[in-house]
Amino acid sequence: MLNYLLGYLFRNIMQRSQWISVLTGVIAVILGVGYLILVQVLDWRGGEMLPAPIDLSFLF
C-alpha cells in the first residue's frame, strides 16, 4: 500500500516538474526571439554607429 502511494505521488511530481520545465523552456524561447526581434528593429532604425563628438571647447 505504501509503495503504491509513493509511486503515485512520484509520478504526479514528475509530471508536474516536466510541465514546469516545458513551460520554462517556452518562456526562454519567447524571450530569446523577442530579444532578437528587438535588436533587429533597433539596428534597422539606425544601424550606423558613429563615435561621440570630441568636445574641444576648452581650447578656445
Question: Per-residue pLDDT tens for 1-60?
Answer: 677 777 776 777 768 888 889 899 999 999 999 999 999 988 887 767 777 788 777 766
On whether residue 28 sits in a domain, the answer given is yes
- Is residue 60 a part of any domain in this protein? no
Query: So what's the pLDDT on residue 30?
Result: 98
Q: Which three cell numbers stand for residue 52?
A: 561621440
pTM for this structure?
0.58
Classify residue 7: in a domain, yes or no.
Answer: no
Query: Residue 32 belongs to what domain range?
Result: 16-41
pLDDT at 9: 67
Number of domains in the chain: 1
Angstrom distances, CA of residue 40 to CA of 27, 29, 49, 51: 20, 17, 14, 21
For residue 54, tell me if it sits in a domain: no
Is residue 3 situated within a structural domain? no
